[in-house]
Amino acid sequence: MIQPTPVRRPLWIRTLLVAGLAFLAVWKALQLPRRKWPQPMRGILQNWTWGMFRVVMGSWITRAYIDQPCTLRTPQPLVPKAAVDPRYALSPGELQFFYDNGYLGPYPAFSFVQIEQLARSLMLRRTQPSYLYGFPTDRDLHFEDDLLLDFLAEPAILERAAQLLGPDLGCWRSQVFLKPPGGNAIQWHQASTYMMEDYLEPALHPPDRNELFQLTIWIALDDATRENGCMQVYPGTHKQIRTIRFGGNEGFYKVNFTLEFEAHPEDAVSIEVPAGHFILFSERVIHGSGPNTTTKRRMAVNFRLIPPSVKVYPDQRTHLAMHMGQVYSLDKWSLLLLRGEDRYGLNRTKRLHRKPVTEAQGAPTALVS
């Protein structure tokens, strides 16, 4: 198991590392060939921006950007990016609220029976070896759980997301979040291309990092309240990616760091989400969650949407998630197309189909091909 927790290294080690990074920075500036370098160095040469070099070297390896730096442009004019079912049309005020604050919702989508069935199914599957990765995990269970596929295909979600991302939508990752009684808080964090997971290779390669290229859908399977650790956000912080300072007492799973921003508790918003409802948010917005101070679990599932113009895990056979201390094989991974078409062919793509609904069948069932 990988234990990658950043530590403050002795000065002499940091001096050697800074010298090595300076050499790589010169190599990058001169645009010299990268192919002969080992993969970690190639990742730095290819994916680090000059701002990332400046922060890491200038702090003598005590600070870094939490992810690939970028800003978020508000489209002009600010109009829906897709024609959708009128029942789920976002108002001009909702579109403006999202770009001002970084999130929308909660919205209703699922019945009590549906969420109870899914929660029972996921509680079992998360303890068994994953079809995709070969070990128990909370990640990407949509590849093996038909009930979860039905949730991903819900029009109340996809029609709203299409107005922000465009008519073509794919799911590149899902995640179960189980916060047991007494479960810990999750510290403030944000993400852009998920380079934060190993700091060498971004998971996502969008055409333009400064445009909205991903949305996270967070579905409550239990009532999410302040008492049991609902999600919290600092509205408006999605406009730029911040820096972190290594170490400290706060933990993001297996990694300790402090996000560098002016945190005023009175400005944070606790988003309480009733069971069966969902929120949409940009991972760029600074977010976290409090501890579960109740005697009951708080369970949720999320999935992350992108347009097919975004490359995912290009040229990678495995993906390292340092904060989880885990390496994931990508041999069986694919982008799951949920809405529209893949007009780019940049990713291994599977399409989601749904059986027609009949009175006897009840709810439709999702299929992957």
Closest to 292 (Cα-Cα) out of 177, 186, 178, 183: 183
| Across 276-292, average pLDDT | 97
Look-up: residue for tokens 């040229």? 315
Q: What is the length of the chain? A: 369
Alpha carbon 169 to chain centroid, angstroms:
15
Under DSSP, the state recorded for 27 is H
| pLDDT per residue as tens digits for the range 179-204 | 999 999 999 999 999 998 888 899 99
Which one-letter amino acid corresponds to residue 30?
Answer: L
Cα–Cα dist 91/3, whole Å: 46
- Produce one character per residue of 201-233: b if its CB has 16 or more CB atoms within 10 Å, e if not: bbbbbbeebeebbbbbbbbbbbbbbeebbbbbb
CA angle 329, 208, 143 (to 5 degrees): 30
Cα–Cα dist 108/279, whole Å: 9
| Across 336-360, average pLDDT | 79
CA angle 297, 173, 168 (to 5 degrees): 125
**What architecture is the 66-368 domain classified under in CATH?**
Sandwich (2.60)
The angle, 0 to 180 degrees and rounded to 10, between the axes of the packed helices 92-101 and 155-165 is 70
**In the structure encoding, which two tokens stand for residue 362, read together?**
């009840």
Q: With a cut of 60, say whether residue 226 has pLDDT above it.
A: yes
Confidence band for 256, pLDDT divided at 50, 70 and 90? confident
Q: With a cut of 70, say whether residue 149 has pLDDT above it.
A: yes
Q: With a cut of 80, say whether residue 6 has pLDDT above it.
A: no
| Across 21-25, average pLDDT | 97
The half-sphere exposure of 191 on its side-chain side, counting CA atoms within 13 A, is 21
Alpha carbon 337 to chain centroid, angstroms:
17
Look-up: residue for tokens 């995912």? 312
Residue 7 has what pLDDT?
53
Q: What is the pTM of this model?
A: 0.92
Closest to 138 (Cα-Cα) out of 274, 321, 272, 12: 321
Look-up: residue for tokens 């290779």? 201
Which one-letter amino acid corresponds to residue 260?
Answer: E
Please say whether the beta carbons of 166 and 267 come within 8 A.
no
Which one-letter amino acid corresponds to residue 20?
Answer: G
DSSP 170-238: EEEEEEEEEE-TTPPPEEEE--SSSGGGTSSS-SEE-S-TTS---EEEEEESS-B-TTTT-EEE-TTGG
Look-up: residue for tokens 């979040």? 177
Closest to 104 (Cα-Cα) out of 139, 80, 73, 85: 80
| Across 295-306, average pLDDT | 98
Q: With a cut of 50, say whether residue 358 has pLDDT above it.
A: no
| H or E stretch covering 57 | helix 50-58
Which 3 state secondary structure label does DSSP give 273? strand
* Domain chopping of the chain, boundaries: 1-61, 66-368
Cα–Cα dist 310/37, whole Å: 26
Residue 247 has what pLDDT?
75
**In the structure encoding, which two tokens stand for residue 342, read together?**
């893949």
